[in-house]
Amino acid sequence: MAQVTTGERKSIFSLFNFIALIVLGVGVYLTYLRFTGGLASVTNLSDYNPWGIWISFDLLCGVALAAGGYVTSSAVYLFGMKQYHSAVRPAILTGFLGYALVFLAINYDVGRPWRLPYPLVVQQGTTSVLFEVGLCVATYLTVLFIEFSPAAMEWLGLKRARNIPIYFFVTSIVAGLSMVIFESTLSHRFFAYKMDETHLKEASGVTLGFGKAASYVLAGYFAIKVLGISAENHWHYLKTGYGTWYLVELLGFVALPSLLYAFGVRTKSLTLIKFTSVLAILGVILNRFNISLVAFNWQLPAGERYFPHWMEIGISVFIVMIGLLLYRFIATRMPILYEHPDYKDAH
């Protein structure tokens, strides 16, 4: 197994590892409570509020923020933007882990998770309302696994099995572009010692190029949202409290990031672009929460409104920590942030 770059092995006794150990310990305990005592033992969900933070954050945000694989693969392999090649594998890894953890989170949220395969293997076809959902999840996760697998096979030395390149198209563009920038920033901060010369040299170009694309996409999204209000003549809703909150999302997390991305690209300010990627990601999270939580609580009386139980939040943090640990394990062992020397011409 080839190793391109080496660095000092870090001690396992670090602040991050200590925090991770605590989070994992609490998460395992909460998982035990969830699957022995049911949803009522760890959540504030009810018939009035069947969707909680596990749907808003773990599912809806997880799916959106896992879109970096689509964005980067499309840019490089469909549109020929080879200058962004070094960002492909980190983005694919982020997407694969993100969607895999979404599937894990679904098991916590549904009442009988052992029935999740039913739409595919028991009630196939149109007899099941969830057939399309189950098929999409299974297909998407399978494609992401196949897309990620060459790195694992290079690491394991499986040269013959490694030759299965499949690349696909982008859907969640804004979240994907911003997540790639954010992930790249963290990787260069914590895993620079694992990167080869190509990854280090292309980092600035990836940030500037993806920042420019994100600015255009956000501007287009802003225009579509305004046209939607105008077409339905819903201007009067903006005078309400929820209308004000809608404007906070639209102006503060769509229009503002678009302008900041544009200014950062124009001035070649990598710091501003990286900051804006965080703002844009928070905007995606806010949008998902508004759709799945705020909207559900709009008309409910105060006593029936939902706020997540601390155990729900604890399990969400637990799932995020699993993703962080898996990313660190894979990125420090497999050819994610550098090219395997035996496959220099295979990309």
Q: Which residues of 312-337 are buried (b: 16+ CB within 10 A; e: fewer)?
A: bebbbebbbbbbebebeebbbebbbb
155 inside domain: yes
Q: Are 65 and 330 in contact (CB under 8 A)?
A: no
10 inside domain: no
More confident: 114 or 267: 267
The overall pTM is greater than 0.75? no
Would you say residue 48 has pLDDT above 90? Answer: no
Q: Are 154 and 162 in contact (CB under 8 A)?
A: yes
More confident: 262 or 243: 262
44 inside domain: yes
207 inside domain: yes
Which domain, by its residues, includes 229? Answer: 15-339
More confident: 37 or 335: 37
5 inside domain: no
Q: What residues contact residue 37 under an 8 Å CB cut-off, 6+ apart?
A: none
Tally the domains of the chain.
1
Residue bearing tokens 């209000």:
229
Report helix, strand and coil shares of the chain as percent, to nearest 5: 75, 0, 25
More confident: 248 or 232: 248
Dist CA 277 CA 283 (whole Å)? 10
Range scoring the smallest mean pLDDT among 45-49, 95-99, 231-235, 339-343: 339-343
Cβ-in-10-Å burial (0-12, 13-18, 19+) of 71 comes to buried
344 inside domain: no
58 inside domain: yes
| CA dihedral sign, ordered 307, 310, 312, 317 | positive
User: What's the whole-number mean pLDDT along residues 303-307?
Assistant: 78
More confident: 84 or 184: 184
The pLDDT value recorded for residue 10 is 64
Confidence of residue 168 (pLDDT cuts 50, 70, 90): very low
> How would DSSP label each residue in 195-206?
--HHHHHHHHHH
User: What's the whole-number mean pLDDT along residues 199-228?
Assistant: 82
User: What's the whole-number mean pLDDT along residues 311-335?
Assistant: 84
Range scoring the smallest mean pLDDT among 18-32, 188-202, 223-237, 331-345: 331-345
More confident: 75 or 41: 41
9 inside domain: no
The DSSP H or E segment spanning 288 is helix 270-289
